[in-house]
Amino acid sequence: MDFQVRFKVNEKIFLRDPESSEVGRQIIKNAIDLIFQLGFEQFTFKKLATEAGSTEATIYRYFENKHKLLLYILNWYWCYMEFLVDYKLQNLQNKNEKLKAVIELLTSELPESSGQYDYNKKYLNQIVISESSKAYLVKDISVINKDEVFKPYKDLCSKIASIILEYQPNYNYPRSLSSTIIESSHSQQFFSENLPKLTDLGERKLKNYTTLFIEDLVFKVLMNA
């Protein structure tokens, strides 16, 4: 399943909307590829300019710094994930299947994309797993949060919380469980790949290990609510 879609991202994040031009979309596309390849610490606008066949000055017309660019990429991803949740659930009526579909979506690898200006969803997914905490585990988080730059993430959490409540109306912590599902899906995928002894994967090498773990955790929690 692959989509070429566009979303309106919080204008406080950018100086010029990347979606407004082919140059801007190419900058985002190349930034995703480069951050995936190098990691956020080694990623620079100078390297991005070389990759995009552009100049640093052009990139700075769109983004104040690389943290803002990362925020843009994450915002786009969370909007995309909410879109996928809506798409996955549109024909599902069973509450159990709805929750399972959400968990599978959050714990599975997204497909690569092939369009010239389409963002590589597989790379994007890996960036979120490895780098997303660097956007909010920062000293000035309270200042950054005032601009509502995390709203798409919060909206997705709210949507998942509503699905949790649909399954178990008596559960008292739907938003906390929602954010726990998302963050745990990231950490368990990362640990399974890089630090497997922090998981119970062992020698099984299960591709769907994280999905099985999150399902077990969520449904046991909700059954005991």
Per-residue tokens: 175: 């938003």
Which among 100, 82, 92, 81 has a CA at the least distance from the CA of 164?
A: 100
Mean pLDDT along residues 200-213: 87
Q: Break the chain into its structural domains and give their ranges.
A: 18-131+138-223
User: Which is more confident, 182 or 111?
Assistant: 182
Q: Which pLDDT score, from 0 to 100, does residue 40 have?
A: 95
Q: What is the per-residue pLDDT across 120-136, written as a single tens digit (0 to 9) for each?
A: 999 999 999 999 998 88
Per-residue tokens: 121: 């969803």
Cα–Cα distance measured from residue 30 to residue 36, given in angstroms and rounded to the nearest whole number: 10
| One-letter identity of residue 94 | N
> With b meaning 16 or more CB within 10 Å and e meaning fewer, what string describes 46-81?
ebbbebbebeeebbeebbeebebbbbbbbbbbbbbb
Mean pLDDT of the chain: 91
Cα–Cα distance measured from residue 24 to residue 63, given in angstroms and rounded to the nearest whole number: 10
Q: Which pLDDT score, from 0 to 100, does residue 141 have?
A: 87
Please answer whether residues 192 and 126 qualify as being in contact, where contact means their C-beta atoms are separated by less than 8 angstroms.
no
Phi/psi of residue 47, nearest 5 degrees: -65, -35
CB within 8 Å of 198: residues ≥ 6 apart: 191
Query: Angle of helix 22-38 relative to helix 121-131, nearest 10 degrees?
Result: 60
Q: What is the per-residue pLDDT across 140-192, written as a single tens digit (0 to 9) for each?
A: 888 888 889 899 999 999 999 999 999 999 999 999 999 999 999 999 999 99
Q: Is the pLDDT of residue 205 over 60?
A: yes
**With bands split at pLDDT 50, 70 and 90, how would you rate the model's confidence at 1?**
very low
Q: Is the pLDDT of residue 10 over 50?
A: yes
Element (H, E) at 224: none
Pick the CATH number of 18-131+138-223 from 1.10.1060.10, 3.40.640.10, 1.10.10.10, 1.10.357.10: 1.10.357.10
User: Which is more confident, 116 or 95?
Assistant: 95
> With b meaning 16 or more CB within 10 Å and e meaning fewer, what string describes 195-212?
eeeebebeeeeeeebbbe
Please answer whether residues 11 and 17 qualify as being in contact, where contact means their C-beta atoms are separated by less than 8 angstroms.
yes
Q: Which pLDDT score, from 0 to 100, does residue 170 have?
A: 95
